[in-house]
Amino acid sequence: MSRPRLGVLISGRGSNLLAILEAIDRRELRTEVALVISNRPQAPGLCHARAYHVPFHVIDRASYPSRADRHCAIRQALDAAGVELVICAGWDEVLLPSLVAAYAGRILNVHPSLLPAFAGGLHAQADALAYGVKVSGCTVHFMTDQVDGGPIVVQRAVPVLEDDTPETLAARILAEEHQALAEAIRLYALGSLCLDGRRVRILAERQVASVGSQSTH
Ligand code: GRF
């Protein structure tokens, strides 16, 4: 098992970041958050980085108006912190292909729908409700150049209830996001994730030992 250093990208509330930090604290995840990056100086989630004494950088549009420069700064910060696995946890920007390529197979994103349904937007929970689906959920996937289109690592489903609002559905999904993200990070650290085309195969422990060199890291 490796102990991958995590770089967590946030844009807002940061409840997924907090869930990761708490899982590490409970020793359910044997990793460490090496760096938190926010693209918004006022992101409430930065308080979790402060509370857990995790280094953080604000790399925002005001300081780096050009997206290319901004994403170059993000990459430099991740590299400098020795980050192995990048977690997009409530991150609201599409990453530049050069950044995705630099961390290919090492960027996880959490999306609040059962992909490929309701991909691409910032209102997936409201879209699911408006569409009338009876089941929704969340997806953790590897990030690629296709927005919300990378290989799926973990999905968790929730029911859509008769009296749901976008907010109640989002809250039910968010609780599952916290679980799914921790599970994906745990599987990555175990070396259990093996890319097979666009399928992510989850290897049993004995398989990890024998085909470790084929895993995604
Ligand atoms: C989550 O629902 C995430 O899936 C979506 O934005 C929300 C962020 O939540 N992309 P938080 O900032 O982690 O609390």
Catalytic sites, residue numbers: 111
Over residues 155-164, the pLDDT tens digits come to: 999 999 999 9
Tell me whether strands 107-111 and 135-142 are parallel, antiparallel or unpaired. Answer: antiparallel
Residues of the chain whose pLDDT is less than 70? 1, 206, 209-217
Query: What φ, ψ does residue 87 adopt, rounded to 5°?
Result: -120, 115
Contact (CB, 8 A) for 125 and 100: no
**What's the CA gap between 66 and 195, in Å, rounded?**
33
- Ligand 1 binding pocket includes 89 (Cβ within 6 Å): yes
pLDDT at 217: 56
Name the residue of 11, 13, 18, 36 whose CB sits within 8 Å of the most ligand 1 atoms, as the mutation to test its pocket.
13
- With a threshold of 0.75, does the pTM exceed it? yes
Q: Which atom of ligand 1 is nearest to the CA of 90?
A: 8
Task: List strand residue ranges (DSSP E) for 52-151, in order.
Answer: 56-58, 85-88, 107-111, 135-142
Task: Extract the tokens encoding 3.
Answer: 């102990």
Over residues 38-76, the pLDDT tens digits come to: 999 999 999 999 999 999 999 999 999 999 999 999 999
Which residues, including other chains, have CB under 8 Å from residue 43's CB and lie 6 or more apart? 10, 11, 12, 13, 14, 58
- Ligand 1 binding pocket includes 16 (Cβ within 6 Å): yes
Q: Which atom of ligand 1 is nearest to the CA of 15?
A: 14
pLDDT at 212: 52
pLDDT at 2: 78
